[in-house]
C-alpha cells in the first residue's frame, strides 16, 4: 500500500503530456540501500517505471545509459551480477559503434551498430569523491558539511565501481544526485559529473533542477531555482497579517490604540 501511495504521489507531482517522455532513475529510496535491495523491489520498480539497469535510450543520435547504482556494490549478489552483465554488454555495443568504419575488429563484426556518440550516464549515486570540499555554488553543501568524508557504497559509489563505469563507457557527461547538494567535478581531468541537488523543500531551503540542450557532440546545461522556502513562508505570513488588518478595518475595529483600549475596558465593566 505504501508503494502504491508513493507511485500515485510521484505521478501527480511529475505529471506531463503524453508527448513528453519521462525517464526515472532508481535510487535507494525506491529499492533500499544494497543490504535492503531485493529482486522483488527491483522488479516492482522496473515494472512501474520501465527501468532496467544497463538500458540504453537513444534520442536524435544521443545515447543515454541508465544505471542502477545501488546494484554497483561489487559483492556478486544476484541483482548486482545481472546489472553488471547488462552494462558490460551495452558498453561493448557502444564501443564498437564508435570505431571508425575502416577499423577491422572481429569482436565487433556482428554487433548492432548504435549512434557513434559518447554516452551520458544517468544514475542516482555520484561516482567516488572524497567529500564535497571542492564543490561550490549557492546550492552546494553548507560549509560545515563540505569537509565531511563520504562513505563509499553509501554516500558515493566505491572507487572500484566508479572506475568500472568510466572504463566501460568513457562517458562525456555523468548526471547524478543522492547527496541533496549540488556539485560539479571532473573525473580523469576531462569527464564532467554534475550532482543535481534535491528538488524538495524538505531537504534544502533552495531546491533546483537542471534544464539542458544536448546534441550528439555537445551539451549546455542551465540550473533553475525554485523559490526559497523561507521566502515563501515570509510571503504567507505577510499576506496573512495583511488579511487580518483588512478584516479588522472592514469590521471597523481599527481605531487609535487609546480608544480601542478604552472600548475594551468599557465592555469589560459592562
Q: What is the pLDDT of residues 139-174, one digit of tens each?
A: 899 999 999 999 999 999 999 999 999 999 999 999
**For residue 209, what are the CA distances in angstroms to 174, 175, 220, 221?**
15, 12, 14, 10
DSSP strand pairing (173-176 vs 191-195):
parallel
183 DSSP β-pair partners:
195
What percent of the chain stands above pLDDT 90?
63
Domain boundaries along the sequence of the chain: 2-226, 230-269
The answer to which of 5-9, 111-115, 127-131, 166-170 has the lowest mean pLDDT is: 111-115
CA distance 77 to 26: 17
212: helix, coil or strand? strand
CATH superfamily of 2-226: GpdQ, beta-strand dimerisation domain (3.30.750.180)
Element (H, E) at 86: helix 78-97
DSSP strand pairing (191-195 vs 183-187):
antiparallel
Task: Give the N- to C-terminal CA distance of the chain in Å, as an integer.
Answer: 60
154: helix, coil or strand? coil
Q: What is the pTM of this model?
A: 0.84
Q: pLDDT by residue (tens digit) across 234-260? A: 999 999 998 988 887 777 665 555 455
Amino acid at each position: 500500500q505504501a508503494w502504491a501511495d508513493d507511485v500515485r504521489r510521484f505521478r501527480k507531482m511529475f505529471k506531463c503530456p503524453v508527448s513528453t517522455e519521462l525517464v526515472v532513475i532508481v535510487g535507494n529510496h525506491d529499492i533500499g540501500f544494497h543490504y535492503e535491495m531485493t529482486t522483488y523491489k527491483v522488479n516492482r520498480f522496473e515494472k512501474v517505471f520501465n527501468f532496467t539497469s544497463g538500458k540504453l535510450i537513444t534520442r536524435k543520435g544521443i545515447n543515454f545509459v541508465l544505471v542502477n547504482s545501488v546494484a554497483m556494490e561489487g559483492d556478486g549478489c544476484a541483482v548486482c551480477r545481472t546489472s553488471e552483465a547488462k552494462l558490460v554488454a551495452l558498453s561493448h555495443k557502444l564501443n564498437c559503434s564508435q570505431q571508425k568504419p575502416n577499423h577491422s575488429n572481429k569482436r565487433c563484426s556482428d554487433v548492432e551498430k548504435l549512434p557513434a556518440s559518447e554516452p551520458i550516464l544517468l544514475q542516482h549515486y555520484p561516482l567516488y569523491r572524497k567529500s564535497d570540499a571542492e564543490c561550490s555554488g549557492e546550492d552546494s553543501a553548507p560549509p560545515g558539511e563540505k569537509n565531511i568524508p563520504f562513505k563509499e557504497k553509501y554516500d558515493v559509489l566505491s572507487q572500484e565501481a566508479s572506475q568500472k563505469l568510466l572504463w566501460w563507457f568513457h562517458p562525456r557527461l555523468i548526471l547524478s544526485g543522492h547527496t541533496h547538494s549540488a556539485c560539479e567535478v571532473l573525473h580523469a581531468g576531462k569527464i564532467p559529473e554534475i550532482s543535481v541537488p534535491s528538488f524538495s523543500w524538505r531537504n534544502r531551503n533552495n531546491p533546483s533542477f537542471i534544464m539542458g540542450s544536448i546534441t550528439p557532440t555537445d551539451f549546455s546545461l542551465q540550473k533553475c531555482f525554485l523559490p526559497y522556502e523561507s521566502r515563501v513562508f515570509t510571503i504567507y505570513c505577510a499576506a496573512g497579517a495583511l488579511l487580518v488588518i483588512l478584516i479588522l478595518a472592514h469590521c471597523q475595529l481599527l481605531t487609535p490604540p487609546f480608544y480601542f483600549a478604552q472600548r475594551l475596558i468599557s465592555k469589560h465593566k459592562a
